[in-house]
C-alpha cells in the first residue's frame, strides 16, 4: 500500500508522501517548488512538473 523509503536527512523510514509533504529537512527546498497541506491538495492544485522537479532536487529519484 505505502512504499517506505529511508529519509537520510530525517533519519527515518517514511512513506514517500512524508518526504514530499512533511520532512522538515526538505522544507526550504520544498518551499521553492510548492506548498501543500495534504496529498489531495498537492496533486489537485500543483502543476506536475513542479512536483517532479522537487523530487529530482531532493534526490528521491535515486532511491526509487
Give the tens place of pLDDT for each residue, 14-32. Answer: 567 777 888 888 889 999 9
Note whether 36 and 21 are within 8 A (CB): yes
Q: Which residue has the higher pLDDT, 50 or 12?
A: 50
The whole-number pLDDT of residue 18 equals: 72
Between 33 and 14, where is the model more confident?
Answer: 33
Domain that holds residue 35: 4-63
Main-chain dihedrals φ then ψ at residue 12, nearest 5 degrees: -140, 160
CA atoms in the 13 A half-sphere facing the CB of 51: 16
pLDDT reading at 8 higher than 80 = no
Total structural domains within the chain: 1
pTM of the model: 0.71
Amino acid at each position: 500500500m505505502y512504499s517506505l523509503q529511508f529519509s537520510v536527512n530525517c533519519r527515518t523510514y517514511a512513506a514517500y508522501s512524508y518526504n514530499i509533504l512533511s520532512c522538515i529537512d526538505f522544507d526550504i527546498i520544498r518551499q521553492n517548488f510548492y506548498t501543500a497541506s495534504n496529498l489531495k491538495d498537492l496533486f489537485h492544485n500543483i502543476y506536475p512538473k513542479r512536483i517532479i522537479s522537487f523530487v529530482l532536487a531532493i534526490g528521491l529519484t535515486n532511491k526509487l
